[in-house]
Chains A and B, each alone.
Chain A
Amino acid sequence: MTVFSLIIINKAGGLIYNKTFHDGGLNKISTNDYLVLAGTFHGVHAITARLNPVKPVATPPAPGTNDPPGRPEPSSGLEVLETENFRMQCFNTLTGTKFLLFTETTQTNVDVTIKKIYDLYADYVMKNPFYSLEMPVRCDIFDRKLLSYIREINNR
């Protein structure tokens, strides 16, 4: 079980972070290609989110209360992409930041891993006064915590 790499895309479709954790899992591509990949994925995601039919009202108001009816779940768009050699899972935050995690196809609990990475991002990137929003992430502590967390998973 191996986690290959992580990509973070901001809400405008720009690549703000990419990190490879395991050599030999995926072929190396140039930084420029990563930028294209991020932008393309962002576009495809936006289209698939519209393609997805909206579900009917999710929760009817409970009888006897005055609560307004629940809103339908927003459609999530593309979540998983699988090939013969790797699996890519996307986690889209409420603010539109996307976390893409490339793993082996047999990897389990990817959503737990990705949530934990989101936690680390919320802690060590968003609480850092020197980080400007929507810009590339360059935070030493985030790198350090992320690497040690992924190393722990890859060595399991």
Chain B
Amino acid sequence: MSSLPSGASSGKESGLRVPSNGKTIYHRPINRTKTSELSQASFAFLFSEMVAYAQKRVKGIQELEHRLNVQGHSIGIKLLDLLLYREPVRTQLRPQHIVGLLHFIKQNVWQHLFGRQADRLEKSTDAEKPDEYMIIDNEPLVNQYISVPREMSQLNCAAFVAGVIEGVCDGADFPARVTAHTVGEGEMWPGKTVFLVKFRSEVVEREAFLAKT
């Protein structure tokens, strides 16, 4: 103990010590390889087992999607904190508008999880549904090796990713329901997936109020 510099243990600088370059352990990925990427094959096998595990315990497709959604939800909540923490200090703010939040998901969350951004962001054109937004991914990474059997054509295993999005929205205090839908686009993008984000009414209300002030 005596070898510790006295300034660190006494005075106002107590608690977490930040290295001089500002990078803490939370700024670094766990593995130290150059690109800090993980093996896609091991992820594919793990995800395949997750789907099979969930499938053994459910009766219908909706229930299965719900289970996958729940599995992703906690990841989303944690990811929001982590990614905001890694932002430069000046922009380290929780998104306060719907569009800002969705951009954060489309860019930062997607980049962190899949190494690229989502393909498109859209607002529902239906005037009666101002609470619906869409995040579009032409080729979701989680579905890359998955062929859904014909009798389950309603199912989209990207419900897991929908759960992650839902977790991020909930964590940012924009409670929402997020679902994944397959909208194949011919030969080019047969696995094109739309993540439908449906915010709760109070979120839309708050947004309108914020826009006025």
Residues of A within 8 A of B (CB): 123-124, 127-130, 138-142, 144
Contact between B190 and A128 (Cβ–Cβ < 8 Å)?
Answer: no
Q: Of the 9-residue stretches B15-23, B45-53, B86-94, B173-181, which lies at the interface with chain A?
A: B45-53
A127-B41, A129-B48, A129-B55 known; A144+B190 contact, CB < 8 A: yes
- Give the one of B148, B152, B190 with max A CB within 10 A: B148
Contact between B149 and A129 (Cβ–Cβ < 8 Å)?
Answer: no
Q: Within the assembled complex, what's the spacing in Å between the Cα atoms of A108 and B157?
A: 40
In the complex, the 10 A-B pairs of residues with the closest C-beta atoms, listed nearest first: A129-B51, A127-B145, A139-B147, A129-B48, A127-B44, A140-B147, A129-B52, A141-B147, A130-B149, A127-B48
Shortest Cβ distance from A143 into B: residue? B147
Q: Within the assembled complex, what's the spacing in Å between the Cα atoms of A144 and B148?
A: 14
Task: Using A128-B147, A129-B55 as known contacts, list a sample of 10 further A-B pairs with CB atoms less than 8 Å apart, ordered by residue number in A.
Answer: A127-B41, A127-B44, A127-B146, A129-B146, A130-B51, A130-B147, A130-B149, A140-B147, A141-B146, A142-B147
Q: Within the assembled complex, what's the spacing in Å between the Cα atoms of A142 and B144?
A: 11
Contact between B44 and A124 (Cβ–Cβ < 8 Å)?
Answer: no
B45: A residues at CB distance < 8 A: 127
Contact between A130 and B190 (Cβ–Cβ < 8 Å)?
Answer: no
Minimum Cβ distance to chain B for residue A105 (Å): 33
Proximity bits, B181-201, A CB within 8 Å = 1, else 0: 000000000100000000000
Shortest Cβ distance from B51 into A: residue? A129
Minimum Cβ distance to chain A for residue B202 (Å): 37
A127: B residues at CB distance < 8 A: 41, 44-45, 48, 145-146
Contact between B146 and A130 (Cβ–Cβ < 8 Å)?
Answer: yes
Minimum Cβ distance to chain B for residue A67 (Å): 29
Q: Within the assembled complex, what's the spacing in Å between the Cα atoms of A140 and B151?
A: 13
B190: A residues at CB distance < 8 A: 140, 144
A129-B157, A144-B190 known; A123+B145 contact, CB < 8 A: yes
A130: B residues at CB distance < 8 A: 51, 146-149, 152
Minimum Cβ distance to chain B for residue A130 (Å): 5
- Give the one of A123, A129, A141 with max B CB within 10 A: A129
B47: A residues at CB distance < 8 A: 129
Shortest Cβ distance from B55 into A: residue? A129
Minimum Cβ distance to chain B for residue A46 (Å): 30
Q: Within the assembled complex, what's the spacing in Å between the Cα atoms of A130 and B52?
A: 7
A123: B residues at CB distance < 8 A: 44, 145
B145: A residues at CB distance < 8 A: 123-124, 127-128, 141
Minimum Cβ distance to chain B for residue A121 (Å): 11
Q: Within the assembled complex, what's the spacing in Å between the Cα atoms of A124 and B44?
A: 10
CB within 8 Å of A: which B137-158 residues: 145-149, 152, 157
Contact of B49 among A129, A139, A142 (CB under 8 A): A129
Q: Within the assembled complex, what's the spacing in Å between the Cα atoms of A139 and B146?
A: 8
CB within 8 Å of A: which B48-78 residues: 48-52, 55
